[in-house]
Amino acid sequence: MNNTESFILGGLVGAAAALLLTPRTGAENRQELRRALEKGRERLGDAEAVAQIRVMALVDEIQEKTGKLLAAGSEMAEAKRQDLMEAIQVAKRALAEEREILMRSHRERRAAIEDAANEE
């Protein structure tokens, strides 16, 4: 049971005890009961308003934090994409260099073979 429920229950128990233990007429007791109920309704309304304000504040906070997390996630994804693109460019350059080395080696071997064939 939360504080609001305990408070309302305590108020109702107190009102019932007051009605049973005081020497009043039935009309007076009914009037006192109406006042107590109205007071309880007002307190309940106040508690509901406070709860609604707290819930709205929590919703706003959650939305703000969610937005920040999404932004941070987008930034991180963009950074990783940039890292990947740079790695791809480095790999392409390395591949081009290796291809050039292989082509040069192939040309040198071919030239060596042709020179050896021309010497014979």
For residue 60, what pLDDT is reported?
94
Q: Which of 118 and 89 is assigned the larger pLDDT?
A: 89
pTM comes to: 0.47
Average pLDDT over residues 89-97: 94
Mean pLDDT, to the nearest integer, of 91-106?
94
pLDDT of residue 3: 79
pLDDT digits (tens, 9 = 90+) for 36-89: 788 888 888 888 899 999 999 999 999 999 999 999 999 999 999 999 999 999
Calculate mean pLDDT across residues 18-46.
80
Whether the per-residue pLDDT at 1 is higher than 70: the answer is no
d(CA 52, CA 77): 37
* Amino acid (1-letter code) at residue 84: L
Determine the Cα–Cα distance for residues 35 and 41; give it in Å rounded to an integer.
10
Tokens (6 digits) for 76: 């991180």
